Amino acid sequence: MSELFRRLGPLIGAWVVATTALWVVFLVVLPQLVMIDGSFRPDLPPSRIGGPEDVYTLANYATLWQNAIHRSIFLRTIWSSALVTLLALVVCYPIAYYLAQSVRGGTAALLVVGLVIPFWVNEILRTFSWFLILSRNGLINQLLQGLGLIEQPLHFGGSGAVMLGMVYAYILFMVFPLYNAIESLDRNQVEAARDLGAPWWRIHWRVVVPHAKPGIAVGCIMTFMLAAGTVAVPQIMQSLPGGTGARWFTQVIYSWFFDGGSWNQGSAYAFALLLICVVFIFAMMRLFRVGLRDIAK
């Protein structure tokens, strides 16, 4: 804090602190507190709110546990989000390593721009592009039919299409933390391992991955939370032909809020999802043995 005031001066420093505090309090803390409070209250008509029946209860959470369909959607969403995170890590690690250790100068800048430019487009439009590519009359089916490899269009719908859309939608949130961590690795360490005859997989396992643990943790946390909390991507990709129609848990939350009109029940579902995300954050920190200070770097 003192460093902030020293660099920016008392007036600008106070303005930065005040605006940050207002942002955190009014856009993060208070909405979460309202959601938590509502999640423990029963659904009552407006005339009975504040009366003797308006007491704290676990009934909204019991609904999630007792509803087998919603419980299975919740567990499937968590599992699928973890799988999306793993796929994103597998896809992005080679990209980040190549950018950080193998290329320099203009080539690296050009590759970074190539990654960033598609994300200037809105997430919904980018997801629709994959919908058009994978649809019945999409680019892939037209190409395969044009080459005479298939007679009838293939169906690409299902959980695989949803995961593909999510990995693409959140790829930058995995690439840049990995890149930031791997870039600080001294190339001489990699060269020394090569000179000593270490195979490529051992170099990455014993040298690169331990150094990149904070970046891996940050990338996994951000990707998981975005995947678990998204609505647009599964909503669009599940409408592909051949899709199972399996809902994402955020779609259930959305239905409670805007279709069912039960904000208290929706708050309970949303808070349950938030708790799982917090547990995932601490699990990643423990798995990679990093602290908040390491992640902040």
CATH code (residue 76): 1.10.3720.10
Percent share of the chain, pLDDT over 70: 96
pLDDT value of residue 22: 93
Task: Please state, rounded to an integer, the average pLDDT across all residues of the chain.
Answer: 86
Six-digit token pair at 210?
Answer: 């331990």
Q: Stretch 204-215: mean pLDDT, rounded? A: 90
For residue 38, being part of any structural domain is answered with no
For residue 275, being part of any structural domain is answered with yes
For residue 263, being part of any structural domain is answered with yes
229 burial via Cβ count (<10 Å: 0-12, 13-18, 19+) = middle
For residue 63, being part of any structural domain is answered with no
* Cβ neighbours for 139, distance < 8 A, ≥ 6 positions apart: 132, 133
Question: For the chain, what is the domain count?
Answer: 1
For residue 266, being part of any structural domain is answered with yes
Higher pLDDT, 103 or 77: 77
pLDDT bracket for residue 227 (50, 70, 90):
very high
For residue 25, being part of any structural domain is answered with no
For residue 217, being part of any structural domain is answered with yes
Q: Stretch 62-84: mean pLDDT, rounded? A: 91
pTM, full prediction: 0.86
Structural domain including 167 reads 68-296
pLDDT value of residue 161: 84
For residue 29, being part of any structural domain is answered with no
Is the model's pLDDT at 30 over the cut of 90? yes
Q: Stretch 83-109: mean pLDDT, rounded? A: 89
